[in-house]
Amino acid sequence: MTVRTRFAPSPTGYMHIGGMRTALFNWLWARRNGGQFILRIDDTDQQRNMDEALGPILDAFRWLGLDWDEGPEVGGDYGPYFQSQRRDLHDAALDQLLASGAAYRDFEPANQTRVQREAAEKEKRVYLSSRVSLDLSEADVTAKLAAGEAHVVRFLIPRGRTVSVKDHVRGHVEWDCGLMVDPVIARGDGSPLYNFATVVDDGQLQITHVIRAEEHLSNTPIQVLIHEALGNDLPEFAHIPFVAAPGGKKKLSKRDIDKYRKSPAFQKLFQLGDDVLGALGIDPAEHSLSPVMVAYYREVGFLPAGVLNALARLGWSLDDETENMSLQTVLENFSLERVVKASAGLDPDKLMSYQSYWMGQLSADEKLLGCLDILVRADLIPENPDADTLALVTRVVELAADRIRVFGDILQMDEFFVSTETLKYSEKDFQKRVVKPEQAVDLLRELRQLLAATEDFTAEAMHKVVEGFVEQKEIKFGQIAPALRLAVTGKAKGADLFPTLELLGRDECLRRIDRAIGTAESMKVV
């Protein structure tokens, strides 16, 4: 039997990072077993703007390189792959259940059902469906139907038995049917509800393995029962742990994003995101971009390999030591048996560490391409850079070396792409390094003359000039270098100083030093 797995997202306009992990495990299991991975879109009735709602989800799959064998855009033999277009299948299944007596029309008013439920809760009694509608004769039902009476269709839970499942990660799990409420499987108009539609669809799509997050565990007995009533082959289940928020045990949720912002564990990632997105002119709030969704990582300049590596290691491990794994390596070694049972918190630090590793594995050209792209998006270089710009970026990327963990980090080196006039100084550092130290401005002025007079403006030569200057003035290197760096780059830290000078070129350096001196003096006067 061919393994068939599926991921069935609702078109919500974004791809949740936890959902992506579930999708990844499904993809892995299908690919590992030479089976098919299916994308089914669990849209409800008429969702508007399907492109807007589904696009980001498909984009996330494409970005990470997870392909699907059947689903939107590619079709397949079991279509349609949009739940809303499968209504005839749901209708047929519903008729079957109604005819066999496995389901019944419940005419009990909703508020009455609610009152009973609340009363039971208050009395600490197990609530069970009243099933009063079961006493109705066929003629009664027909009459009520003809009269258009409001009702729902419930699945008749066979009480007095248990449902058990051998879950691939949880092992044996069992439920007592005597404790279960008859679930509503369709509204009066026949429109199916999740638990029912999913079963019909999984059955018809011949899904062999339902791999989903553990929050669905409680839906399982109902779905198993419906599968049985429909005469379907039961799929195997694997309830993987959900992805928890950093520093906690609770499910990572888009709703808690404001809380995460204040979380220490999330701090650095948010900072990075704010910096990069800010430079790109994207307001995270406006685009509701956050670390909860896959798109965030793409925008900030993460690598698919980094995100994939982190996702794979969330609740799964290869052995006792292997951490850095390509998708291929994970694929070759993946097994559901090695999925951990406890929920796993997303660790931004660890994610960043995987990311840095994979960035380090990139060839110079690949790295250049990624940086070029984000520099263009930040408007720091033109869309189709000329040869000079290309050469400059190449050298900046070289100079930045492993300071680039995500492509967005190249934006930290913006001093190479702005003019002297638009260069921004870090105000605090400028005060500390240039304005405040007594001799800083004077030293800078003297050094400027030396730099201006130097014949070849290379890193090596500059180094010698400054060394000589330090010796001659009987000062420490630390008394001039920080001020020089500030004047030229606007920042307190950055790549190696002398190559930076060389790359900027003599004219630019001198202009910047002049500007810094002027600025510092005007500050001192005031």
Partner RNA sequence: GGCCCCAUCGUCUAGUUAGGCCUAGGACACUGGAUUUUCAUUCCAGUAACGGGGGUUCAAAUCCCCCUGGGGUCACCA
Considering only residues 169-228, where is the footprint of RNA by CB under 7 A? 170-171, 173-176, 179, 181, 184, 187-188, 193-195, 214-219
CB of residue 117 to RNA, shortest distance in Å:
7
Cis peptide before 241 (omega within 30 of 0): no
Beta strands in 58-140, from DSSP E residues, in sequence order: 103-106
16 contact partners, CB below 8 Å, separation of at least 6: 252, 254, 292, 293, 294
What x/- string results for residues 338 through 357 when contact with RNA is judged by CB under 7 A? x-xxxxxx-x-xx-xx--x-
Question: In the complex with RNA, which residue's Cβ is closer, 284 or 348?
Answer: 348
Strands 103-106 and 152-155: antiparallel
Binding region for RNA (CB under 7 A) out of 337-345, 413-421, 434-442, 515-523: 337-345
DSSP-derived letter for residue 135 is: G
- The burial of 56, by beta-carbon neighbours within 10 Å (0-12 exposed, 13-18 middle, 19 or more buried), is given as middle
Binding region for RNA (CB under 7 A) out of 72-80, 94-102, 246-254, 417-425: 246-254
Binding region for RNA (CB under 7 A) out of 72-80, 335-343, 416-424, 446-454: 335-343
- Name residues contacting RNA, limited to 14-73 (CB under 7 A): 42, 44
Question: In the complex with RNA, which residue's Cβ is closer, 73 or 467?
Answer: 467
Question: In the complex with RNA, which residue's Cβ is closer, 288 or 353?
Answer: 353
Question: Among all chains, which residue has been given the structure tokens 């069970």?
Answer: 128
- The burial of 35, by beta-carbon neighbours within 10 Å (0-12 exposed, 13-18 middle, 19 or more buried), is given as middle
Is residue 254 among the annotated active site residues?
Answer: yes
Helix, strand and coil content of the chain, in percent to the nearest 5, comes to 55, 10, 35
CB of residue 464 to RNA, shortest distance in Å:
10
Strands 236-240 and 209-213: parallel
Question: Residue 171 and residue 341: Cα distance in Å, rounded?
Answer: 10
Q: Does 380 bind RNA (CB under 7 A)?
A: no
Question: In the complex with RNA, which residue's Cβ is closer, 251 or 254?
Answer: 251
- Name residues contacting RNA, limited to 75-114 (CB under 7 A): 83, 109-110, 113
Nearest to 33 by CA among 3, 7, 8: 3
E strand or H helix at 299: helix 294-300
Question: In the complex with RNA, which residue's Cβ is closer, 284 or 483?
Answer: 483
Size of the site for RNA (CB under 7 A): 80
Question: In the complex with RNA, which residue's Cβ is closer, 61 or 284?
Answer: 61
- Name residues contacting RNA, limited to 421-460 (CB under 7 A): none
CA distances from 44 to 10, 53, 458 (A): 8, 12, 65
Question: In the complex with RNA, which residue's Cβ is closer, 376 or 492?
Answer: 492
CB of residue 293 to RNA, shortest distance in Å:
16
> Which of 135, 286, 320, 456 touches RNA by CB under 7 A?
320
Neighbour-count burial for 306-341, b at 16+ CB within 10 Å, e otherwise: bbbbbbbbbbbbbeeeeeebebeebeebbebeebee
Question: Among all chains, which residue has been given the structure tokens 């780059």?
Answer: 489
Binding region for RNA (CB under 7 A) out of 141-149, 239-247, 291-299, 415-423: 239-247
144, 254, 432, 473: the active-site residue? 254
Question: Cα-Cα-Cα-Cα dihedral of 305, 311, 315, 321, to 10°?
Answer: 20
Question: Residue 233 and residue 32: Cα distance in Å, rounded?
Answer: 22
CB of residue 408 to RNA, shortest distance in Å:
14
CB of residue 222 to RNA, shortest distance in Å:
9
What x/- string results for residues 141 through 160 when contact with RNA is judged by CB under 7 A? ---------xxx--------
What x/- string results for residues 470 through 499 when contact with RNA is judged by CB under 7 A? x------xx--xx--x------xxxxxx--
- Name residues contacting RNA, limited to 112-131 (CB under 7 A): 113, 117, 121, 124, 126
DSSP-derived letter for residue 45 is: T
Indicate which residues carry an active-site annotation: 254
